[in-house]
Amino acid sequence: MRTRLSVCARKRRFGCEAEAMAAAQGARADLRHYRCDRCGAFHLTSRRKGKRIPRPAIVEGLAR
């Protein structure tokens, strides 16, 4: 589903994924980050229904 332009305009934009992740972890609510298909920046959302939770990156040498 495409992000509505009015929603994008109201949300805070984060320039990189790491910055958005840090903001999500520091928030009181359970938030996740996503790349906006309108502006290309990262936003935060509390919506989870139908969303995939990204797997943590596998570090080489630690995989079994």
**Contact (CB, 8 A) for 41 and 23:** no
pTM surpassing 0.85? no
- 3-state secondary structure string across 48-62: CCCCCCCCCCCCCCC
- Whole-angstrom Cα Rg for the chain: 14
pLDDT at 64: 54
Token pair in block for residue 36: 């906006």
pLDDT at 51: 60
Per-residue pLDDT reduced to its tens digit, 4-55: 888 899 999 999 999 999 999 988 888 999 999 999 999 999 887 666 666 6
pLDDT at 26: 87
pLDDT at 28: 86
| Residue 16 DSSP code | S
Token pair in block for residue 55: 């797997």
pLDDT at 46: 87
